[in-house]
């Protein structure tokens, strides 16, 4: 399906003021496709299209944050109030957070009180927590209800709830006491009681928990939605599977960027400004310039042996890079295993033995390669120096690479900050020192 | 919940032959938790526990591949046949693929014919495609059915189908013609026809499509399940949201490993053998040893200027690393943006301009830092050489880092193969040459 072609037709239809046919075509599309088409339309005309769509609030919710805010500025106020009233509660709170104070002040009084309170409540949770992710559009039941009453209640809640496939059973204090799937409801006899068919051991997350843990819980238990409870155990929202999947993807992107030495930033790489990219990249680069001075200090300490054996410089980048490369492998494997929860902090020590063994084998293989080259380029002593150095730098690289994520975590940083550039710099400094120290023991000064 | 403590109690109960109470406790748990407990039990006793659980096939399906195969070896054959008959069809086909020929031969004739054919059909799809991922346990409806007939049909299909929240409408040739959500079914009047309430523009994937595209489609459209069709448009399976989420996570892990210079491998890092880790890491490490020789060649070409100005060696690791670090940042940002689909191949040229601008700013910032150090360590000329070199290596690093993923893709490789180690080595070789060339222009020989 070519969304651009549809957008083109839509633009022509808007110009000719003949929207009926074009709108019919949009009816057949999924809301996210309509949203992608809408951004290709003149923003002044976007409302003309949106107001004719019965699922306009869903379409609007699929727009990028920036597009939402810029359209919200143009829309007639009464229409905007109506649109925001219809939006899914989590998306609505996110939009509200992005509006400036004057826009909020203009908008909030026009909303119904329940919506106003819902927005304020959801917007109050810290970014990155379950609370900031959850929606309040969920379906609840009571344990004393019969199955037929429950089905009738769900029919009433269906238009507003994000999902009715799981309904949450609460008591008089809104405490979460069970969960019922729509599957079990339609299989049960109409007169059975919810309390008898519900699953009472409900998997849930606390509202202050990290969104990464929310995503992991949804993934582990294959949930359609995860109920979110407050400290008293009262149900305050749900996180649906699709939002959990988005979080997992965003967290992977974040770890990926960190692994390349880029600081965290929210949002797409494609649309990021030069200014933001510069800011997110300059920190590590400049820090590592100073970190790499340590390699220089090592070199100047051994200047005599270098001056007497210039062949050492030939192999310098190769040797120090090898340590960094091996270390980057170790760090990447470890950072990802920690992120997926496959490895936990207390596994560090038991993994160290295996890592050292792998490093020894890798180092010996690479030592064979470099010592042959060293023999032809230099002599047997140079060859020996290179072989010994290679085994040492690779082993140190691997141990540093696999330990740094744990150390950073202990110090309160994200293990993913053990980036390839950081590992490379640490391994360079130690590699230079080891290489030149070994050389100084075997070669003439 | 402490799964280890429950496993301990279970082991005691098995020894004392008093399983009833312990089994009751397992009833309250989620299948994946029971599976995690089961691996902590003596394998000989696992069947004793499993056979008492009504959801044994689901629990068994949650076990790791290796545990499934090793338990399958021990279970009584009749029990195993029954268990496999009850398993979700996608998990069953996966297990079948892992059994050896004698086990398959022993098992297959004992299964019902429909199951046998289903296993053969699913196991025939290539790993990594939609076909290898899908399940054949889905619910179908026909367009001429009334809503009340459809609900009755779903009640019959519910025990076997992975989801009944989306039911797929097929014609006489099994061609997929629509989709109906259970939500719309329970909201519709009983006498309405499925053909009138179904959504006829169904999002689907071809059975031969890459599993990564399946996961992206599920994520984009927020689907509970994605129907999979063959080349004739006939429905052959569905992929559920939880399997799509697992694929997205596995693909991210794979890209992560590649970004650190580790070749693809299936499965957990924690349980990987020394032998496999060695094999998956040695390729790039040894290749890059030879690649780094190019840096050595550059150095030997400029040996005169180095010999005359040993201060150059002091800054060598720092300068070449800076190019590699900046390049790793660019590559990581690009590889991930390509993986999430945020950036596509044709965006390369338009992104190059922004990247060059960012690189120039970063290079100038780092040049200021290094030229100050260079002035104090050397003199004004060294300072100038360093500043010019820094701007050049950072710009080249960034352009290489952002271009290599595209080039690799053009050559038929995974863009994620543009790993930090590879970028570092390429940047080292070019960095050495640029640095020493600039030095040779300004400094005495």
- Whether A380 has its CB under 8 Å from any CB of chain B: the answer is no
Q: Which of B224, B289, B351 sits opposite A318 (nearest CB)?
A: B289
Give the distance from CA A256 to its chain's centroid: 9
- Contact by Cβ (8 Å): B84, B98: no
Return the bridge partners of B193, or none.
Answer: B146
Query: Does pLDDT of B305 surpass 80?
Result: yes
pTM of the model: 0.91
Cβ of B420 and A425 within 8 Å?
Answer: no
pLDDT band at B336 (very low <50, low <70, confident <90, very high): very high
Could you give the residue range(s) of every CATH 1.25.60 domain in chain B?
3-124
Q: How many angstroms separate the CA atoms of B150 and A82, rounded?
A: 36
Sign of the torsion formed by the C-alpha atoms of A215, A220, A225 and A227: negative
Query: Does pLDDT of B99 surpass 90?
Result: no
Tokens 């290079």 appear where?
A: B363
Query: Does pLDDT of B194 surpass 90?
Result: yes
Residue A208's contacts (CB-CB under 8 Å, 6 or more residues apart) are: A125, A126, A129, A130, A131, A231
- In A348-367, the residues whose Cβ lies within 8 Å of chain B are 351, 354, 357-358, 361-362, 365-366
pLDDT at B1: 65
- Whether B164 has its CB under 8 Å from any CB of chain A: the answer is yes
- Whether B343 has its CB under 8 Å from any CB of chain A: the answer is yes
Q: How many angstroms separate the CA atoms of B245 and A156, rounded?
A: 31
Q: What's the half-sphere exposure (Cβ side, CA atoms, 13 Å) at A112? A: 8
pLDDT at A378: 84
Give the sheet arrangement for strand B163-170, strand by strand.
B138-141, B163-170, B176-181
Region B81-102: what's the mean pLDDT? Answer: 90
pLDDT band at B378 (very low <50, low <70, confident <90, very high): confident
Cβ of A420 and B425 within 8 Å?
Answer: no
| CB-neighbour burial class of residue B221 (10 A; exposed 0-12, middle 13-18, buried 19+) | middle
- Whether A135 has its CB under 8 Å from any CB of chain B: the answer is no
Reported as type and span, the H/E element at residue B401 is: helix B380-410
Q: How many angstroms separate the CA atoms of A224 and A164, rounded?
A: 10
Nearest residue on chain B to A312, alpha-carbon basis = B296
pLDDT at B203: 96
Nearest residue on chain B to A269, alpha-carbon basis = B337
- How many other β-carbons are positioned within 10 Å of the β-carbon of residue B305? 18
Q: How many angstroms separate the CA atoms of A92 and A87, rounded?
A: 6
Q: Measuring CA to CA, which residue among A364, A319, A318 is closest to residue B278?
A: A364
Cβ of B317 and A295 within 8 Å?
Answer: yes
- Contact by Cβ (8 Å): A424, B325: yes
Nearest residue on chain A to B267, alpha-carbon basis = A342
Q: How many angstroms separate the CA atoms of A60 and A37, rounded?
A: 11
Nearest residue on chain B to A368, alpha-carbon basis = B286
Sign of the torsion formed by the C-alpha atoms of B112, B207, B140 and A224: positive
Q: How many angstroms separate the CA atoms of A345 and A108, rounded?
A: 46
- Whether B256 has its CB under 8 Å from any CB of chain A: the answer is yes
Q: Which of A249, A256, A289 sits opposite B256 (nearest CB)?
A: A256
- Whether B40 has its CB under 8 Å from any CB of chain A: the answer is no
Reported as type and span, the H/E element at residue B240 is: strand B235-240
Return the bridge partners of B178, or none.
Answer: B169
Q: How many angstroms separate the CA atoms of B220 and B56, rounded?
A: 34
Q: Which of A285, A320, A335 sits opposite B366 (nearest CB)?
A: A285
Cβ of B331 and A284 within 8 Å?
Answer: no
The residue with greater pLDDT, B444 or B190, is B190
Give the distance from CA A336 to its chain's centroid: 12
pLDDT at A311: 87
Helix (H, G, I), strand (E, B) or coil at B2: coil
Q: What's the half-sphere exposure (Cβ side, CA atoms, 13 Å) at A174? A: 12
Query: Does pLDDT of B252 surpass 70?
Result: yes
Cβ of B321 and A351 within 8 Å?
Answer: no
Q: How many angstroms separate the CA atoms of A77 and A74, rounded?
A: 8
Nearest residue on chain A to B289, alpha-carbon basis = A318
Token pair recorded at residue A146? 């019969």
Q: Measuring CA to CA, which residue among B71, B16, B65, B15 is closest to residue B38?
A: B71
User: Using the 8-state DSSP alphabet, how is residue B92 labeled?
Assistant: H
Give domain A3-124's CATH number out of 1.10.3470, 3.30.70, 1.25.60, 2.60.40: 1.25.60
- Whether A267 has its CB under 8 Å from any CB of chain B: the answer is no
Nearest residue on chain B to A268, alpha-carbon basis = B342
Q: Which of A223, A248, A256 sits opposite B259 (nearest CB)?
A: A256
Q: Which of A155, A293, A306 sits opposite B318 (nearest CB)?
A: A293
The CA-based angle B180-B183-B186, given to 5 degrees, is 100
Fold of B133-240: CBS-domain (3.10.580)
Cβ of A313 and B315 within 8 Å?
Answer: no
pLDDT at A1: 65
Q: How many angstroms separate the CA atoms of B320 and B384, rounded?
A: 16
Query: Does pLDDT of B25 surpass 90?
Result: no
- Whether A244 has its CB under 8 Å from any CB of chain B: the answer is yes
Across B377-408, b (16+ Cβ under 10 Å) vs e yields bbeeebbbbbbbbbbbbbbbbbbbbbbbbbeb
Token pair recorded at residue A233? 């155990």
Nearest residue on chain A to B325, alpha-carbon basis = A421
* Distance in Å, alpha carbon of B87 to nearest chain A alpha carbon: 16
Could you give the residue range(s) of every CATH 1.10.357.20 domain in chain B?
274-442
Helix (H, G, I), strand (E, B) or coil at B238: strand
Token pair recorded at residue B158? 């519910």
pLDDT at B45: 84
- Contact by Cβ (8 Å): B395, B356: yes
Residues of chain A under the 50 pLDDT cut: none
Cβ of B322 and A261 within 8 Å?
Answer: no
Give ipTM to 2 decimals: 0.90
Checking B402-409 for CB contacts under 8 A at 24+ apart, the result is B402/B330, B402/B331, B402/B333, B402/B334, B402/B348, B402/B351, B402/B352, B402/B355, B403/B348, B403/B352, B404/B331, B405/B331, B405/B334, B405/B335, B405/B338, B406/B334, B406/B345, B406/B348, B409/B338, B409/B345
Alpha-carbon distances of B326 from B174, B215, B427, rounded to whole Å: 54, 31, 9
Residue A349's contacts (CB-CB under 8 Å, 6 or more residues apart) are: none
Q: How many angstroms separate the CA atoms of B130 and A278, rounded?
A: 40
Q: Could you give phi then psi for residue A99, rounded to 5 degrees?
A: -75, 150
- How many other β-carbons are positioned within 10 Å of the β-carbon of residue B411? 8
Sort out which chain B residues have CB atoms less than 8 A from A219's CB and list them: 242, 245-246, 249
Alpha-carbon distances of A405 from A7, A348, B229, B322, B366, rounded to whole Å: 47, 10, 44, 22, 26
- Whether B32 has its CB under 8 Å from any CB of chain A: the answer is yes
Q: The domain at B274-442 falls in which architecture?
A: Orthogonal Bundle (1.10)
Sort out which chain B residues have CB atoms less than 8 A from A139's CB and list them: none
Helix (H, G, I), strand (E, B) or coil at B369: helix
Region B114-132: what's the mean pLDDT? Answer: 93
pLDDT band at B89 (very low <50, low <70, confident <90, very high): very high
Checking A26-33 for CB contacts under 8 A at 24+ apart, the result is A26/A53, A27/A53, A28/B200, A28/B201, A29/A1, A29/B201, A30/B201, A30/B203, A30/B221, A31/A55, A31/A58, A31/A59, A31/A61, A31/A62, A32/A62, A32/B220, A32/B221, A32/B222, A33/A1, A33/A3
Percentage of chain B modeled with pLDDT above 70: 100
Helix (H, G, I), strand (E, B) or coil at B379: coil
Region B315-329: what's the mean pLDDT? Answer: 91
Q: How many angstroms separate the CA atoms of B405 and B338, rounded?
A: 9
Could you give the residue range(s) of every CATH 3.10.580.10 domain in chain A?
133-240
Checking A216-223 for CB contacts under 8 A at 24+ apart, the result is A216/A248, A216/A341, A218/A244, A218/A245, A218/B245, A219/A244, A219/A248, A219/B242, A219/B245, A219/B246, A219/B249, A220/B32, A221/B30, A221/B32, A222/B32, A222/B240, A222/B242, A223/A166, A223/B242
User: Using the 8-state DSSP alphabet, how is residue B175 labeled?
Assistant: B
């Amino acid at each position: 399906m070519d969304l651009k072609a549809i957008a083109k037709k839509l633009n022509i239809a808007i110009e000719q003021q003949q929207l009926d046919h074009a709108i019919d075509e949009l009816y057949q599309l999924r809301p996210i496709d309509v949203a992608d088409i809408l951004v290709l339309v003149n923003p002044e005309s976007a409302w003309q299209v949106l107001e004719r769509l019965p699922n306009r609030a869903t379409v609007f919710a699929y727009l990028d944050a920036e597009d939402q805010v810029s359209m919200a500025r143009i829309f007639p106020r009464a229409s905007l109030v109506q649109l925001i009233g219809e939006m899914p509660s989590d998306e609505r709170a996110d939009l509200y957070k992005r509006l400036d104070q004057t826009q909020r002040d203009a908008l909030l009084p026009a909303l119904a009180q329940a919506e106003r309170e819902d927005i304020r409540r959801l917007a109050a949770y810290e970014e990155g927590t379950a609370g900031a992710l959850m929606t309040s559009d969920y379906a609840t039941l009571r344990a004393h209800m019969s199955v037929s009453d429950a089905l009738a209640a769900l029919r009433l809640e269906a238009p507003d709830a994000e999902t009715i496939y799981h309904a949450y059973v609460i008591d008089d204090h809104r405490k979460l006491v069970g969960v019922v799937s729509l599957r079990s409801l339609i299989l049960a006899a109409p007169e059975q009681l919810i309390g008898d068919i519900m699953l009472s051991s409900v998997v849930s997350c606390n509202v202050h928990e990290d969104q990464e843990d929310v995503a992991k819980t949804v993934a582990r238990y294959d949930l359609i939605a995860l109920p979110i409870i407050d400290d008293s155990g009262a149900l305050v929202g749900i996180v649906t599977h699709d939002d959990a999947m988005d979080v997992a993807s965003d967290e992977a992107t974040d770890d990926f960027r960190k692994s390349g030495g880029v600081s965290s930033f929210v949002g797409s790489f494609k649309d990021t400004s030069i200014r933001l990219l510069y800011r997110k990249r300059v920190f590590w680069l400049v820090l590592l310039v100073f970190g790499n001075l340590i390699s220089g200090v090592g070199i100047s300490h051994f200047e005599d042996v270098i001056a007497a054996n210039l062949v050492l410089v030939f192999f310098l980048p190769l040797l120090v890079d090898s340590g960094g490369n091996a270390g980057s492998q170790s760090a990447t494997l470890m950072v990802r295993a920690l992120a997926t929860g496959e490895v936990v902090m207390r596994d560090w020590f038991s993994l160290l033995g295996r890592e050292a063994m792998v490093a020894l084998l890798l180092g010996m293989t690479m030592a064979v390669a470099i010592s042959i080259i060293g023999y032809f380029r230099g002599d047997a002593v140079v060859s020996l120096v290179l072989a010994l150095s290679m085994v040492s730098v690779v082993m140190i690289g691997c141990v540093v690479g696999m330990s740094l994520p744990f150390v950073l975590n202990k110090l309160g940083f994200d293990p993913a900050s053990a980036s390839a550039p950081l590992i490379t710099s640490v391994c360079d400094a130690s590699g230079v020192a080891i290489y030149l120290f070994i050389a100084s023991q075997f070669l003439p000064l």
